[in-house]
Chains A and B, each alone.
Chain A
Amino acid sequence: MGGVSEPVLQVLDLKKHFPVGSQVTGRGGTVYAVDGVSFAIGQGEMLGLVGESGSGKTTVGNCIMRLLEPTDGTILLKGRDITHLSRREMRPLRREMHMVFQDPYSSLDPRMTCGQIVGEPLRTQRLARGAQLENRIRELFDAVGLRPELRYRYPHELSGGQRQRVGLARALSVSPSLLIADEPVSALDVSVQAAILNLMRDLQQDMHFSCLFITHDLATVEYLCDRVAVMYLGEIVELADTDELFSRPQHPYTQALLSAAVVADPEVQRTRRRIVLEGDIPSPLAPPSGCRFRTRCPLEPDSAPRSHEEEPPLVEVAPGHFVACHLVHAGREAPVLIDAPAELA
C-alpha cells in the first residue's frame, strides 16, 4: 500500500465547476460538480471512489484523465504536475494512465476489429509494430481470457462481458501505472460481473498497477479495493481502509449508504436496521451552506447550528481514517446509527 514510496497519483483540492445557463444575462448558475477533493493512490493500490449519482465521482475520474479541464486544484502523476499540460504534452503520459468505461457497447469503435482496438494504444504510442505488435495483442487476449480468434471479430459480435475484456486489454496494453475504471461492471449481468471482477483482481496482482475504481456499489468495493473514499455532492465525506470503513463507518452518510445497500440474504436483509434518508440529494447548483449533508442528515438536530454555518473539514479521526463531520472527532465515540454490517454477515 501507499504512504512510504511516492504515490502514483496525488489529487489536491480538485475542483470542477460547470457554468450553466446564460452567463451574459446573469441568469446562469454554476454546478459545483467537484468541490475540493483530495486523495492519493499508492503504488499498486486500489482505491474505491463511491457515491450516488450526482456525487461527482465520474467527474473526478474525467479530470484526472484530463478529459475535462479542472477548474482548480492540482493533479500529480508520479510527482509530475499534469493539471494544465497541453494535449501534446499529455500524449506521452497517456501510457502512464488508462481508462475502462462503463458501457462496453459505446466505448469500442464499431469499425475496428477487436485486435485493432487492443493494439491501438501500442501503435499510437509507437511501442510496438509488425510481428511484435501481433504477439503483444495475442498475449493481451490471453491475459484477459479471450480466445485468440476473437481478434478478427468486430465488437458487435461479442457479448457484453467479452467486450469489457477487450476494454480491459486495451487499457492495459501499454502497462499503465494507473488504471481508472468507471463503473466497469455496472452494465453487465451478475454472473458476468463476477468474472470481470475476478479478472481485475488477478490482473492487478500480476501487473501491480494502481487503480481508481469508481462505482456506486459498496459490495464491489469491499471485494476489490484496499481503501475507500465516499463522495457526497462533490466532496469526500469519509476515507479509510476498506476493512476499517466497513466495520467502523463514522460519517452518517456512509452509515446510511451501508444500511441501504441490499444484501442477498433474507435473514440479514429483514432483521437489520435501516436508515432511510429523508428527501433527495440537493442540487449541485445550490449546495447547502455549511455541511452539505445536513439537509438529509438524521443527526442534524445535534450538529445545528454549526453545520449550517461551517463546512466540516476532512480530519483524521483514527490512523488513516478521515471523516468530514462536525460530530466525529478523534478519540471520541462516533455516533452509531447502524450495527456494523460485518457483524451481520
Chain B
Amino acid sequence: MPLLEVKDLSVRFDTDDGPVHAVDRLSFSLEEGEVLGVVGESGCGKSVSLMSLTQLLPPTAAVTGSAQLGDIELIGASSSRIRRVRGRMVAYVFQEPMTSLNPAFKIGRQIEEVLQRHLDISRGAARKRAIELLQLVRIPAAERRINEYPHQLSGGMRQRVMIAIALACDPKILVADEPTTALDVTIQAGILDLMRDIRERLGTAIVLITHNLGVVADIADRVLVMYAGRKVEEAPVHDLFASPQHPYTIGLLGAVPRPGAASTTGRLQEIPGRVPSLSELPQACAFADRCPRADDLTRSQRPELREVLPGHTVACFHPGGEWAA
C-alpha cells in the first residue's frame, strides 16, 4: 500500500471574476522513501495541489476528492486532525527561506518552537535536538549557529535551516516546493545532495515541486508533469527523459538549452501560444490550442490517462516520440 494515495483531487477558487479551476482531478500515489518530481510551469497547479492536502490554502479554495495518508483521509478532515498531520506526517520547505523564517528570532528558538509544539519535550531536550538537526543538515559549528539570526546566514544556510525545521518531527513526507530556485547553482548542488542524503538516511519520502527539469533529472525517482491543473504524463524518471510521450513534455524538454548540444541542434524548441484560462473546464485537451498534433478529437473530448508503457501514463490521443501529421 502506498504511503499517500491521492484520487481525483480538484481545487477550485471562487473569485470575483468567477471560478478558477486550479487543480482538475489529479491522482497520484507516493511510496515510502520515494522522490516524486512534480513538474510544470507557473499556474499549472503543482504547488496548490500539494498545499491543499494539509489545508494550507485560503478558505476560498474548495477542495474535493480524496487523499489517503495511512488510515487518515486528509480531504475534509477536521482542523485538529490536520494539525497532527502537519509537521509530524507532512512537512513543507518553500522557495524563499528569508520570508519563511522569522527575522526577529534566533534560528535555534525557531527550531525549538516546532519541537515543543508538536512533541512533548522539555526546553533542554528541544535545544539538544535542535543542534542535532542543524548537524543533520550539515551546518558547520551548529552549537554556535543556533544563536544566530536569519540575516546572519547565507541563502543556502537558511534553506538548510528550513529543512532542519521541516525534519524536526521526523515526518514521513517532505514537500519541497522549488527549494533551490532562489539559490545559486553551486549552492543548489549542495542542497540536492542534502535531500538525497535525507532520503537515504531517514527514509523520508520527498515530493519535489519544480519547474527545473535538470533538478528533476538529478534527484527524482518518478516524475509527474502537470499542465493547466491536470496531470498530462507520469513515468519513472529515466523513461520520461528517454521517451517522453506527451507533446507538452516533449516541448518542455526541447525548450531547455543543453550543455554541449547547442552548436549541433541549432534552435531551441518553442511552444507557441499560452496557457489557457482556468476559469472553465473545457471538454477538450487543455493543451489543444498549442499542440501541433491537435485534431477534432483533441478539441472535442478530454483525453483520459492511459498506460502506454509499464508505469508510464499519458493523457493524450496522439502520444509518442515519433509522430507524423
Contacts and interface: CB of A to CB of B under 8 A. Distances in A.
Interface residues of B, number: 46
Given A197-B257, A269-B214, A52 B238 contact: no
A85 interface: no
**What 10 pairs between A and B have smallest CB-CB spacing?**
A262-B214, A345-B260, A194-B255, A264-B213, A52-B184, A223-B257, A191-B271, A194-B268, A342-B260, A189-B41
B78 interface: no
A185 to B, nearest CB: 10
A333 interface: no
B154 A280 contact: yes
A304 interface: no
A344 B253 CA distance: 17
A34 B4 CA distance: 51
A325 B184 CA distance: 22
Interface in B184-243: 184-190, 192-193, 211-218, 237-238, 241-242
13 contacts: A189-B41, A189-B211, A193-B255, A194-B254, A216-B184, A219-B262, A222-B262, A246-B259, A263-B217, A280-B156, A341-B259, A341-B260, A343-B260
A262 B270 contact: no
Nearest to B189: A260
A266 B217 contact: yes
A315 interface: no
Given A243-B263, A261-B214, A262-B217, A223 B268 contact: yes
A256 interface: yes
A219 B269 contact: no
B270 A264 contact: no
Contacts of B157: 280
Given A216-B184, A262-B212, A194 B269 contact: yes
Interface of B: 41-42, 154-157, 184-190, 192-193, 211-218, 237-238, 241-242, 251-263, 267-271, 274
A342 B218 contact: no
A268 B255 CA distance: 18
Interface stretch (A14-22, A107-115, A120-128, A270-278): A270-278
A343 B242 CA distance: 19
B189 A276 contact: yes
Contacts of B216: 264
Interface in A139-186: 159, 161
A51 to B, nearest CB: 9
Contacts of A277: 186, 190
Nearest to A243: B263
Contacts, number: 131
Interface of A: 52-53, 159, 161, 189-191, 193-195, 197-198, 201, 216, 218-220, 222-223, 243, 246, 256-270, 274, 276-277, 280-281, 341-345
A267 B236 CA distance: 13
A189 B185 contact: no
A281 B260 CA distance: 27
Find the residue from B154, B193, B218, B251 having the highest chain A CB count within 10 A.
B218
Nearest to B40: A189
Nearest to B248: A191
Nearest to A342: B260
A52 B185 contact: yes
For the complex, would chain B's binding face be called helix, strand, loop or mixed by DSSP majority? helix
Given A343-B260, A344-B259, 4 more contacts: A190-B256, A262-B215, A266-B237, A276-B189
Given A243-B263, A341-B259, A263 B214 contact: yes
A190 B237 contact: no
Contacts of A246: 259-260
A262 B39 CA distance: 15
Contacts of B270: 191, 194-195, 198
B298 to A, nearest CB: 19
Contacts of A264: 213-214, 216-217, 241, 253, 256, 258
Given A219-B259, A264-B214, A269-B214, A198 B267 contact: yes
A140 B263 CA distance: 28
Contacts of A194: 254-256, 268-271
Given A191-B251, A264-B213, A344 B260 contact: yes
B190 A276 contact: yes
Contacts of B186: 52, 256-257, 260, 276-277
Contacts of B269: 194
A48 to B, nearest CB: 12
Contact of A258 (B184, B187, B259): B259
Nearest to A258: B259
Contacts of A342: 259-260
Nearest to A195: B270
A161 B237 CA distance: 29
A194 B41 CA distance: 13
Contacts of A258: 259
Contacts of B261: 345
Contacts of A189: 41-42, 211
A267 B237 CA distance: 10
A258 to B, nearest CB: 7
B41 A266 contact: no
Nearest to B41: A189
Contacts of B255: 190-191, 193-194
B252 to A, nearest CB: 6
Nearest to B156: A280
A222 B185 CA distance: 16
A190 B271 CA distance: 9
Nearest to B273: A191
Nearest to B39: A190
A269 B185 CA distance: 14
A267 B185 contact: no
Contacts of B257: 197, 219-220, 222-223
A266 B238 contact: yes
Find the residue from A52, A159, A262, A276 having the highest chain B CB count within 10 A.
A262
Nearest to B43: A189
